[in-house]
Amino acid sequence: MFGQTEAITLDMLKMALDAASLRHQAIANNIANVNTPGYAPARVSFEAQMGALRSTLQQGNPITPGMLSGIRPVLEREAVVQESDRTALLDKEIVNMAQNTVQYEALLKALGKHMSILSAAVAEGKR
């Protein structure tokens, strides 16, 4: 029982952390280019690829490692920002960044909890 959930949880947390880290770089790039004419903002697509996994879980079925193949953070480009929308871009990116930082810390917390469950299971053998 442990082998399967263990691998899936760690893999998914790792990918989600990678996605949040890449997303931070994309946001930093957008902020660095906030005054660049003709710049197309970078975005990271990741959570949208989780639709199939979510419906599998809702039907009460377990996720198999094979279902994770092909899911990875992807860097995308939006349409070029118009000159008049440039100030709105900065506000939007700051909001995205705050959200992404909280998301990253939540993922780290989840990873920490998962590890502590594992160490509790390991420690039982000592008694």
Partner 1 sequence: MDYRNAFAISATGMDVEKLRLDTIAANLANIHSGKGVDGKLFRPLHVTTSEATSNFAVGFEQLAGAQLHGARVLSVEASNVAPRKVYEPGNPEADDKGFVSMPGVNQVTEMVNMASALRAYEANVVAMNAAKTMALKALELGGSQ
Q: Which spans of this chain sit near partner 1 (rule: CB under 8 A)? A: 17-18, 20-22, 24-29, 31-39, 42, 44, 72-75, 87, 90, 93-94, 97-98, 101, 104-105, 108, 111-113, 115-116
Q: How far is the CB of 113 from partner 1 (least distance, A)?
A: 8
CB 13 within 8 A of CB 107: yes
- Residue 46: CB atoms within 10 A of its CB come to 17
Q: Residue 9 or residue 33: which is nearer to partner 1 going by CB?
A: 33
Per DSSP, 65 falls in state G
Determine the Cα–Cα distance for residues 116 and 103; give it in Å rounded to an integer: 20
- Which residue, 95, 94, 100, 90, is CA-closest to 39? 90
Q: Residue 63 or residue 100: which is nearer to partner 1 going by CB?
A: 100
Q: How far is the CB of 95 from partner 1 (least distance, A)?
A: 12
Q: How far is the CB of 111 from partner 1 (least distance, A)?
A: 6
